[in-house]
């Protein structure tokens, strides 16, 4: 078999994409799912108002408001040292490494 003959029959994919791949710069307007129940579609505007007024709707707003309030719910830490020490990375002990390597087969606490 000659290599030049093999190049003549190059693989051609069966799937073809029509048109250019373009996405709009602005996000699509929020709307209920097409198969949502009618009662949910009717109250979707109310849901959007409640969602947009909630502090978790914007990420920058939730971070600053959570840090100011001092509550542990919804805190977002940018660096690990800002979190409590119990969340910091630590060195694993030998028995923890063995437990992971055994797949959890040894039930040593």
Output the CA–CA distances (angstroms, integers) from residue 19 to 11, 16, 22, 26, in the order listed: 22, 10, 9, 20
Q: Is the residue at 71 inside a domain?
A: yes
What is the mean pLDDT of the segment spanning 40-66? 72
Residue 65 pLDDT = 44
CB distance 108 to 95 below 8 Å: yes
The encoded tokens of residue 56 equal: 């978790």
Q: Is the residue at 50 inside a domain?
A: yes
Q: Is the residue at 77 inside a domain?
A: yes
The SS3 assignment for 13 reads coil
Whole-angstrom distance, CA of residue 40 vs CA of residue 63: 30
Q: Is the residue at 44 inside a domain?
A: yes
Q: Which domain holds residue 70?
A: 37-104
Q: Is the residue at 29 inside a domain?
A: no
Percent of the chain scoring above 70 in pLDDT: 72
Domain count, the chain: 1
Q: Is the residue at 21 inside a domain?
A: no
Q: Is the residue at 18 inside a domain?
A: no
Q: Residues 58, 62, 65, CA angle at the centre, nearest 5°?
A: 135
Q: Is the residue at 30 inside a domain?
A: no
């Amino acid at each position: 078999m000659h290599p030049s003959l093999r190049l003549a029959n190059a693989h051609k994919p069966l799937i073809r994409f029509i048109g250019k791949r373009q996405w709009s710069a602005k996000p699509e307007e929020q709307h209920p799912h097409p198969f949502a129940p009618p009662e949910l579609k009717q109250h979707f505007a109310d849901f959007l108002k409640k969602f947009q007024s909630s502090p978790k709707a914007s990420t920058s707003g939730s971070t600053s408001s959570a840090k100011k309030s001092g509550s542990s719910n919804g805190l977002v830490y940018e660096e690990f040292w800002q979190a409590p020490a119990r969340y910091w990375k630590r060195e694993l002990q030998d028995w923890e490494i063995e437990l992971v390597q055994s797949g959890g087969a040894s039930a040593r606490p």
